[in-house]
Amino acid sequence: MHELSITQSLVDAVLDCTGDRTVTGVNLRIGRLSGVLPDALRFCFQLLAEGTPLAGADLRIDEPAGRATCHTCRQSFILPDTIPLCTCGSADVEITGGRELMLASVEVG
């Protein structure tokens, strides 16, 4: 489960920035094509935040859809799953969104 190591890095990064201040909220962007499972990350966050200033913080996750542009027909479209295939039938597509994995903001109290 790579979510555990990702969450540990997240907790470390937040604590580096906030120090001993109480954290009330953490906002993430995890694209649907990132390979990260938001529910697993939430579970890991609860475990790793215990006993730290992040304990009890509200973890909010924005999950942007996958997006792509077809090199054949030049159409931009939303990817409904991880198979990059345009409605024109072409697999010659460039993924332009949905791979995000970022800490968007932190709220302190």
Domain definitions of the chain by residue range: 2-65+98-108
Question: Tokens for 36?
Answer: 């990260």
Amino acid at 42: R
Please, which pLDDT band fits residue 10 given cuts at 50, 70 and 90? Answer: very high
17 is known to lie in a ligand binding site: no
Cα distances from 15 to residues 7, 22, 53, 95, 104, in angstroms, run: 12, 10, 8, 33, 15
| CATH T-level topology, domain 2-65+98-108 | hypothetical protein PF0899 fold (3.30.2320)
- Tokens 């159409």, located at residue: 75
Range with lowest mean pLDDT among 1-5, 10-14, 53-57, 102-106: 1-5
71 is in an annotated binding site: no
The reply to whether 44 sits in an annotated binding site is: no
Question: Average pLDDT of the chain?
Answer: 95
Predicted pLDDT at 82: 84
pLDDT band at 1 (very low <50, low <70, confident <90, very high): low
